[in-house]
Structure 1
């Protein structure tokens, strides 16, 4: 038994599971904080209204609002990092809408409008994320292929050098005069 956070956990199964969950929550909280700070900076706010916070967290949990009711649309919604990427993609249009359509408003309505624009960019942000991951894998495959080619080339050179050395040792000048 291992004690952590005033609780005891089984060493074999429960404690590693607890540590993984704790790390996942820490990462998600950091992503949430980054998104929260970005929205505050984008809308030039002091505090984000609780209704907007609830909407973002519901989106993360997989809920959407249909006819005033919360409806589960996905098992898990997009993570906060993906929402941040979508916000960055939609930043110019959100700023334009705040200035031109909402007359510089900083209320919950303006923030909801920005969230709606961000939701429309989620698919594009997800596609960009998948493309980056695919490019990373392809780059790694190319690097591995280059390493393998270098290794094979070095082996061939080594074998050739050994063969040349063996040939030079076999040729004896005295045998030519016999």
Structure 2
């Protein structure tokens, strides 16, 4: 699958968590409480997220060095575990099982690692500036959500803001992947053989 296709999947699945939030009136659903449609929506968001990180890896957006390759590879593993959590929810798997606990912890860990990836993309300077900012919009979603929660003295993450942030952020990241891939394709065509 090429980077453009990965970007299109990212764009397509970006609003999935926002849609699920609206389905529940922006009320939080705990693990195991969502229905099959909600689990599929959350699963599709995670798959789009995984596609986005894979696209960044294929573009070598975090650099060509060993550290850059590691930084962009680790979230591919943690996001895969986040995908697994949704599958386990659909199967009504035991939530006390270590595999479920590990896959549930993969969600916030993957969000934090997305922030690390976004900073690496910014400093690697492989992509043009607008394309380097798109991962940062995604990467700051959890820190901004937590900051807003603390500032507003809320007990839980503001789901509407978080849902809109993820929908817009991942859509922009998908768009950046689509356009970066087409720019690189043109550069290859124009380069002498």
| Greater length-normalized contact order (CA 8 Å, ≥ 6 residues apart) | 2
Shared fold (TM-score greater than 0.5)? no
Greater Cα radius of gyration, structure 1 or 2: 1
**Structure (1 or 2) with the greater strand fraction:** 1
TM-score (norm 2): 0.30
TM-score (norm 1): 0.32
**Structure (1 or 2) with the greater helix fraction:** 2
